[in-house]
Chains A and B, each alone.
Chain A
Amino acid sequence: MTQRLAALAVLAVAASGLGACSSGGSGSTTGSSTVYTIWDPYPQFDPGSEWVKLLSRCGTDAGVTVTRTAFDTTDLTNKTLLAAQQDNAPDVLIVDNPVISTLAEAGVLATTEEVNVDTSGVEQNLLGAGQLNGKTYGMPIGANTLALYYNKAVLQLAGVDVSTVKDWPSLTSALAKVKAAGKKGITFSAIGTEEGSFQFLPWFWGAGATLTKLDSPEAVTALSLWADWLKQGFAPNSVINNTQTTSWAEFATGDYAFAENGTWQLANAKKTGFEYGIIAIPGSKGGTAPAPTGGEFVSIPVQKGTGRYVTSQKLVACLSSTDNSLTTTTTLSYIAPTKAVQAKQVAANAELKVWAEAVNAAKGRTGDNLGTKYPKISQPLWTALQAALSGSATPQAALTTAQTAAAAATN
């Protein structure tokens, strides 16, 4: 008897447990709740940080309560797709710029037209990453890009005047002098992920190559530059596995003359204990190479209850207003997307001038209407990097393979 009772009890518990599970998930986005959800890729900021304070302030101004959840960047795309599949997307989404076109293609994001977000003040080269088929799907919250950090002491020891580094030959000869002086040349990240492509693009574009033709002679020049640096010992072999963080750790040892890295390392640069400077990445024959834009877009995912857009729009406007944009970009160590705020940033911190210039020369990876084709091109490209740098193929052969793979994937 007791056994049977126990069995029934177990059954009842199991049934109620399952019932509770299935009813718990829904109901959070329906209705006119005054709780608005924001997802961002900044897990480094805790609830006490300026960034989260700004979010709650914007919520209060719009008369609603804001619930913010932070995700890891790579995780955020999948979480958003899953949430959209279950009609459970957040009200405001802050997401890495190359992902915008993927999410737009999936029909997850509302256009700025639909939700009345004003993007007129934004620089066109930054907005490009958020556009697909002539429609805009978000507003850049801030931008970052890549440049070359250099170690003043190492260059002095090697007898290199940094102002002579204007193009690739002068950069390579500077690296040769550094090596001759017993120091290490340059470190960057050529890992087999999107990070590797991101770091290679300034050189790729700086040679005049385009993403639609990966095996062009210009592209081969760019890849040969990197491969030769490795072969001659100007760059360490570890770049093949370096993320931008581990590459920075190499530069922070003080042995390296140059490091290709982004705006976000500025705070760390001050902690290294040696004097550093920053120059823009040179093009193959001089000038500033266009670097890819990094940084996030703030966008509004499609909701069933379109009435929510009005408040979501207020939140977006608040985050991107001139005053708040200055706070946001300073907190995130980013460059503002509008000329007006950029000028304020440079006035407050002259060091940012190089970065503001680099951002203005930069271009979006998914721009040129590549959109969702970009990831399919980027993967063969980073594979080619790995093949050429590890010596398993020549730059020409690696890029020919990459072009074949990219062409097959994008058709």
Chain B
Amino acid sequence: MNLQSQTRTRSVEDSDGAAQAAPRGASRHSARWRSPQWAAWGFLTPIAIYLIAFYAYPLYRNLDLSMRDYTVRSFVRGDAAFIGVTNYQTVLADPTFAPALLHTVVFTVACLFFQFSIGLALAVFFNHSFRLSVTLRALFLVPWLLPLIVSASTWSWMLNSEAGVVNTALGFFGIGPVNWLTSPDWSLVSVIIANIWIGVPFNLVLLYSGLQGIPVQVHEAAALDGASSWQRFWRVTFPLLRPVSAITLLLGLVYTLKVFDIIWIMTRGGPVDSSTTFATWSYRLGFGSPLPRFGPGAAVGNLLIIMAIVFGFIYIRVQRRQQPA
């Protein structure tokens, strides 16, 4: 949010400057209502309307929804009673809350860690140009390009306990069948693996472009000073990559927090709650049963938004500290 408002104020200044430059030749015609301020606001209006209609209002509606006692009847009539934070209390007291929170944290941390480290390793690998490196890099993008329903269905087919190719492969090594999707011990692991696979290309692309931005001379200088390649990575590449890493991790975090499709298609958040995260729980409350519970569903959704915003603020703080300007 804060990031957006920053760019917004900047764009006001920019358009201000542009508008000031324009009327210099036509200053005789300048009437009061045509002052540069007005032009600036004029330029701002479309984006403001867009932001209000597509961002602020839905957020407000979601907040409103989470504070009302919606039943199917009051939903249709639009006369749901305001009940304050009762929906949040319901959600907090729900036996699903603690596991869902834990799974959300484990899912996000595990996915981010592996996506980032695998993505970084691959980016460093592809940074050395070699034959076919472009082709291979393009191939690594495939998971990111596939529709989620396709990749998730394929994963759930591969991990099927009875006929899945993964269990067949494990069988060759004498490892007994694992109930990847149907055992409470493995379901979360399975969806994490699938999500890591999908997220690696995203990290790869961003980190690769970050690596391209590091001047070769720095590496050469470090090499001349006698730094080993391992030292050059940790002492030169990694610190210089920090701004790109930070934004990659933040985007990855926001994306991973709200992952829903993969989990829903692969396990429906089950068995029982063993792979339920806030995202799937919110959907299950709102749409997963013939009798929708919009209030608690919206409350869980808002908790998710708060989590994302908190990390957004942390990012901005870290960024400010890095660039004290």
* Structural contact, A106 and B34, CB atoms closer than 8 A: no
A10–B46 touching, CB < 8 Å: yes
Instruction: State whether B268 touches A191 (Cβ < 8 A).
Output: yes
Stretch of B214-222, B282-290, B316-324 with 4 or more beta carbons under 8 angstroms from chain A: B282-290
Name the residue among A4, A8, A378 with the largest chain B CB count within 10 angstroms: A4
Selected from A77, A98, A236, A386, the residue in CB contact (under 8 A) with B271 is A386
B274 close to chain A: CB less than 8 A = yes
Chain B residue contacts of A3, Cβ below 8 A: 18-19, 22, 39
Q: Check B182 against A241 for contact (C-beta < 8 Å).
A: yes
State how many angstroms separate the Cβ of A388 from the closest Cβ of chain B. Answer: 10
The answer to whether the Cβ of A375 comes within 8 Å of any Cβ in the partner chain is yes
Known: A102-B291, A192-B270. A81 touches B75 (CB 8 A): yes
Task: Answer whether A7 and B72 are a contact pair too, CB < 8 Å, given A375-B290, A386-B271.
Answer: no
Which chain A residues border B71 with CB–CB below 8 Å?
105-106
Q: Measured between alpha carbons, how far is A271 from B294 in the docked complex, in Å?
A: 42
Interface centre among B78, B184, B272 (most CB of A within 10 A): B272
Q: Which residue of B lies closest to A193 (CB)?
A: B268
Say yes or no: A375-B181 contact (C-beta < 8 A), given A85-B78, A238-B162: no
Interface residues on A, range: 35 or more
Q: For residue B291, which residues in chain A have a CB less than 8 angstroms away from its CB?
A: 102, 372, 375-376
A180 beta carbon closer than 8 Å to chain B:
no
Taken together as a complex, chains A and B put the C-alpha atoms of A253 and B292 apart, in Å, by 37
User: At the interface, yes or no: A50 with Cβ under 8 Å from chain B?
Assistant: no
Q: Are B45 and A386 neighbours in the complex by a CB distance under 8 Å? A: no
Q: Is A390 an interface residue (CB 8 A)?
A: yes
Q: For A253, A383, A386, A392, which residue has the most chain B Cβ atoms within 10 angstroms? A: A386
Interface string of A103-124 (1 = CB under 8 A from B): 1011110000000000000000
* Residue with the highest number of chain B CB atoms closer than 10 Å, among A8, A77, A81, A241: A241
In the complex, which residues of chain B have a beta carbon less than 8 angstroms from the beta carbon of A372? 72, 291
> Nearest chain B CB to A382's CB is how many angstroms away?
9
**Inside 8 A of B269's CB, which chain A residues have their CB?**
192
| In contact, B271 and A192 (Cβ under 8 angstroms) | yes
**Among candidates B43, B162, B272, residue contacting A386 with C-beta atoms closer than 8 Å:** B272
Give the shortest distance, in Å, between B176 (CB) and chain A (any CB): 12
Best-surrounded residue of B43, B73, B182 (most CB of chain A within 10 A): B182
Residues of A within 8 A of B272 (CB): 192, 383, 386-387, 390, 392-393
**Of B18, B42, B162, which contacts A237 at CB under 8 A?**
B162
Give A84 to B78 CA distance when docked, in angstroms. 10
Given A237-B162, A238-B160, A241-B181; A11-B45 close (CB under 8 Å):
yes
Q: Does B62 count as interface, using CB distance less than 8 angstroms?
A: no
Flag whether A389 is at the interface (Cβ < 8 A): yes
**Distance in angstroms between the alpha carbons of A378 and B78 in the assembled complex:** 27
Which of A10, A238, A253 has a CB less than 8 Å from the CB of B182? Answer: A238
CB-CB < 8 A to B26: which residues of A?
Answer: 1
Nearest to A398 among chain B residues (CB) is B272
The complex places the Cα of A379 from the Cα of B95 at a distance, in Å, of 14
Note all chain B residues with C-beta closer than 8 A to A102: 72, 290-291
Interface-central residue, B71, B181, B289, by most chain A CB under 10 Å: B289
Please give, as numbers and ranges, the residues of chain A lying within 8 Å of B53 by CB-CB distance.
18
Residues of A within 8 A of B77 (CB): 85, 107
Across-interface contacts of A298 in B (CB, < 8 A): none
CB distance from A81 to the nearest CB of B (A): 6
B288 / chain A contacts, CB cutoff of 8 Å: 193
Report B1 CB to chain A, min CB distance, Å.
Answer: 23
The answer to whether residues A237 and B161 also contact, given A78-B287, A392-B184 and a CB cut-off of 8 A, is yes
Which residues of A have CB within 8 Å of B267? 241
Closest to B291 in A: A375
CB distance from A228 to the nearest CB of B (A): 16
Contact A14 B49 (CB under 8 A): yes
Return A136 CB to nearest CB of chain B, in Å.
19
With A192-B268, A390-B182, A390-B271 in contact, do A4 and B34 touch (Cβ < 8 Å)? yes
Is A85 a contact partner of B39 (Cβ separation < 8 A)? no
The 4 closest A-B pairs by CB, nearest first: A375-B291, A390-B271, A240-B182, A106-B72
18 additional A-B residue pairs with CB within 8 Å, beyond A240-B181, A390-B183: A3-B19, A14-B45, A18-B49, A84-B76, A102-B290, A102-B291, A106-B72, A106-B76, A108-B76, A237-B183, A238-B182, A241-B156, A241-B268, A379-B289, A383-B272, A386-B271, A390-B274, A391-B184
Can you list 30 residue pairs at the A/B interface with Cβ under 8 Å? Answer: A1-B22, A3-B18, A4-B42, A8-B42, A10-B42, A14-B45, A74-B287, A77-B290, A81-B76, A98-B290, A106-B73, A106-B76, A192-B268, A192-B269, A192-B270, A192-B272, A194-B290, A237-B183, A241-B156, A241-B267, A241-B270, A253-B163, A375-B290, A375-B291, A376-B291, A379-B289, A383-B270, A386-B272, A391-B184, A392-B274
Residues of chain B whose beta carbon lies under 8 Å from any beta carbon of chain A: 18-19, 22, 26, 34, 39, 42-43, 45-46, 49, 53, 71-73, 75-78, 156, 160-163, 177, 179, 181-184, 267-272, 274, 287-292
